[in-house]
Amino acid sequence: MENQDKYYKGLFFGAVLGSIVGTIMGLLFAPRKGEDTQMIITGKVRRALDRAAELYEEPEEDAIYNNEAKQRSQKIIDSARDEAKKILDEANNIIKDIRGHTKEQEN
């Protein structure tokens, strides 16, 4: 069981790292302006998080089925939400850095 937990933990962090790298590469080679790309990314992440929250919430009569698997899935959702916020913050910082470098080069 412990090996399986390590496998899924590694898989999750690998996916998060791949998402971060993909986001950075996408921002660097994006055909749109940074603000447009930022708005698109923010909107999609918010919709995904809202949809995940809607799917997770359940009526009170189903509360008796609250078990370890559900608690673990909530931890994964919370972790994913935190990672998504970090990715958005990093994307915003990259956009600001790129804007700063282009302004410096123009002067």
**Which single residue is written with the structure tokens 């990259």?**
94
Sign of the C-alpha dihedral computed for residues 102, 84, 17 and 40 taken in this order? negative
Count of domains for the chain: 1
**Which single residue is written with the structure tokens 């998080």?**
49
Per-residue pLDDT of the chain (107 residues; tens, 9 = 90+): 677 778 888 888 889 999 988 888 877 777 777 777 778 878 888 888 888 777 776 655 555 556 677 778 888 888 888 888 888 888 888 888 887 776 666 65
> CB under 8 Å, gap of 24 or more: what pairs does 96-104 form?
98/27, 98/28, 98/34, 99/34
Q: Which domain holds residue 90?
A: 2-106
Cβ count near 8 (within 10 Å) = 12
